[in-house]
Amino acid sequence: MAPLLAMSGIKKHFGGVPALRRASLEIEPGEVHALIGQNGAGKSTLIKILTGLYRRDEGDIEFTGAPSHLTSPREAQETGIATIYQELNLVPLRSVSENVVMGQEPRSLGFLINWPEAHRRTREILSRFGIDIDVTAPLGSYSTAIQQLVAIARAVSMDAKLVIMDEPTSSLDSSEVEILFSVVRELKSSGVSVLYVSHFLDELFQICDRVTIMRDGQTVGCETIADTSKLDLIAAMLGRDAEEIAAEGLTELSGGKQDFEEIVLQVDKVSTGPRLTDFSMTLHRGEIVGLGGLLGAGRTEAARSIFGLDPLTSGDMHLKGAPYEPTEPAEAIKARIGFLTEDRKAEGIIPHMSVRENLTLALLPHLRKSGQIDLEREKALVEDFIKQLGIKTAHMDQPIRELSGGNQQKVLLARWLATKPDILILDEPTRGVDVGAKREIQTIIRNFVDEGHAVILISSEFEELVEGANRIVVMHEGKAVSELTNPGITENALVRALAHHEEPAL
Does residue 40 share a domain with residue 23?
A: yes
Parallel, antiparallel or unpaired: strands 32-36 and 372-373: unpaired
Q: What is the DSSP letter of 90?
A: S
116-147 pLDDT tens trace: 999 998 998 888 777 889 999 999 898 777 88
pLDDT of res. 436:
67
pLDDT surpassing 80 at residue 384: yes
Does residue 411 share a domain with residue 426?
A: no
CATH code assigned at 486: 3.40.50.300
| Contact call for residues 448 and 425 (beta carbons, < 8 A) | no
Mean pLDDT of 248-275: 69
Does residue 435 share a domain with residue 405?
A: no
pLDDT of res. 214:
93
pLDDT higher at 179 or 209: 209
- 164 C-beta neighbours (distance < 10 Å), count: 23
Please tell me whether residue 15 adopts helix, strand or coil conformation. Answer: coil
Task: Classify residue 88: in a domain, yes or no.
Answer: yes
CA-CA distance, 392 to 398, in Å (whole number)? 11
pLDDT of res. 246:
65
pLDDT surpassing 60 at residue 255: no
Confidence of residue 152 (pLDDT cuts 50, 70, 90): confident
CA-CA distance, 394 to 386, in Å (whole number)? 11
pLDDT of res. 254:
37
pLDDT of res. 6:
97
391, 420, 449 - which closes a domain:
420
Confidence of residue 87 (pLDDT cuts 50, 70, 90): low
CA 345 to chain centre: 15
Task: Classify residue 235: in a domain, yes or no.
Answer: no
Task: Classify residue 238: in a domain, yes or no.
Answer: no
Q: DSSP string of 337-406?
A: EEEE-S-IIIII--TTSBHHHHHTGGGGGGSEETTEE-HHHHHHHHHHHHHHHT---S-TTSBGGGS-HH
Mean pLDDT of 321-347: 89
Least confident of 29-38, 93-102, 204-213, 237-246: 237-246
Confidence of residue 243 (pLDDT cuts 50, 70, 90): confident
CA-CA distance, 489 to 470, in Å (whole number)? 8
420, 436, 451 - which closes a domain:
420
CA 485 to chain centre: 26
Does residue 93 share a domain with residue 79?
A: yes
Task: Classify residue 240: in a domain, yes or no.
Answer: no
Q: What is the DSSP letter of 6?
A: E
Does residue 31 share a domain with residue 85?
A: yes
Domain count, the chain: 3
Report field, pTM of the whole predicted structure over 0.85: no
Least confident of 60-74, 328-342, 437-451, 490-504: 490-504
Does residue 274 share a domain with residue 155?
A: no
What residues make up the domain containing 155?
5-228
Does residue 409 share a domain with residue 437?
A: no
Mean pLDDT of 446-466: 90
386, 404, 420 - which closes a domain:
420
Does residue 211 share a domain with residue 62?
A: yes
Does residue 429 share a domain with residue 407?
A: no
Does residue 430 share a domain with residue 411?
A: no
- 1 C-beta neighbours (distance < 10 Å), count: 6
pLDDT surpassing 70 at residue 371: yes
Confidence of residue 475 (pLDDT cuts 50, 70, 90): very high
| Contact call for residues 169 and 198 (beta carbons, < 8 A) | yes
pLDDT surpassing 60 at residue 501: no
Q: What percent of the chain has pLDDT over 90?
A: 45
Confidence of residue 323 (pLDDT cuts 50, 70, 90): very high
Task: Classify residue 237: in a domain, yes or no.
Answer: no
| Contact call for residues 358 and 364 (beta carbons, < 8 A) | no
350-364 pLDDT tens trace: 888 999 999 988 787
> For the CA atoms of 266, 307, 465, 285, what is the dihedral angle to 10 degrees?
-40
Mean pLDDT of 292-314: 91
